[in-house]
Structure 1
Amino acid sequence: MPIPEDVTGDEIDKDVRQELQSLPKTLADDVARNLVMVARLLDEDPEGAYGYSRVALRLASRVAAVREAAGFAAYATQKYGEALAEFRAAKRMTGNIDLWPVMADCERGLGRPEKALDMAGAPEVHKLDKAGQVEMRLVAAGARRDMEQLDAAIVTLQSPELAANSVQPWTARLRYAYADALLAAGRESEAREWFAKAVEADRDGSTDASDRLAELDGVEFVDVMTDDESDTDDKSDDADSPSEGEQKD
């Protein structure tokens, strides 16, 4: 697959670059450039990112960072079985358990919420950092909802991290998930309160909490150009156009 000339491979994380040092330099550079493209396209063009991840995987399947990148690209394109296999491979290579929550979410994607809940109660969760534990809680709540256990999903999300006033990278998503679960359970006034709290924490627009809040408040968004403005523009155009008598032969 073509790679823009401005992509050198030097853009990748230094830890990944260190992993690639086990490869011949030319090969390492090729793999690095493909990994850069995976990272660059993952959000905007998941299918494109997936294509580059397959190239990197073909070139260096024994590099853990490559397996992890391939996993995230497959996950972004909802190829959950493939993603899970890649994440498992990366975990075997490194012994790192950071991927545990996303592996559990892959189980959800494969229609196995019970397995995701089993993983949420596994010893590995205690080895996760705070962000990983919050992510695991979100996955577990999602699994409960998959099983139509709304009350259990709400309880799962109730935690010190949810109640904290400080804003962390996960705060908006956690509050949003809680609000959404409350709304699904028919607790609309509480849901509105937590959507508002999610808006306060969502500094980079990672959720659509503001839209959900507006919807609950009955706010309707209309086009900038109203019918009246359209009529005014039409009349203005008519005024600017020469009349039949003014037109030149």
Structure 2
Amino acid sequence: MSMRLAGRTALVTGATSNIGRAIAEAFAREGAYVAVSGRSAERGQEVVDGIRARGGRADFVRADLDGSAAASRALAQEATRVLGGRIDVLVNNAGIYPHATTAATDEKTFDQVYAVNVKAPYFLTAAVAPAMVEAGGGAIINLGSWISRLGIASPLYSSTKGAIETLTRAWAAEFGPQGVRVNAISPGVVLAPTARETRTAEIMMKGTPAGRMGTPEEIANAAVYLAGDDSSFVHGIVLDVDGGRTTAAVIAH
């Protein structure tokens, strides 16, 4: 065990399942004290218990990040308290994925998706980053998506992830000179699909160098890199961890 994050504290949103859970577990494995955040106390405690059983440090902090500045500020304050007074690493992972075409998207759905996927991390970063600056530095990792650059018929979600990737670069310019590194990860198809969705998800990764779906742990490995000192000279990037989906095409012979 390398313990690359020993002595650091981290807040991971949407950490009760899939990618967020894998990131929280990887951070704890590398020595960080992790605030596992999500809506479900039951699932959150399950993640915390698993981390503790393996010798790591974690606590659950419930949050319903509805996009309001108040909800984001409340999470920042409670996580800071739980973690002993500071947050060294923030992972903006929580998000929702609507299954709707443009014409079928009503205004309520549009507002909800932007609230959760863009407004919530915006105001959470606004609450956390200044404290990082005051403490002498920190790292913020946002979760983008490959479909923000390789167009598929999911316009609402894609546009929110495009916004997050743009914010990553803007925040790097704003906070980087003050000691806070801001970067993003753009995962490929790594969801744990239902039986009905498995074939579609697998097909989406055909013709890529990897030729398969990714795992949450593979995204978590990238998050550990961006959170630690190995990436000390890395600012404002969107790291593609997508099996080559957006960069290369493999022609079958």
TM-score by length of 2: 0.27
TM-score by length of 1: 0.27
Structure scoring higher RCO (CA < 8 A, sep ≥ 6) equals 2
Higher Cα Rg, which structure: 1
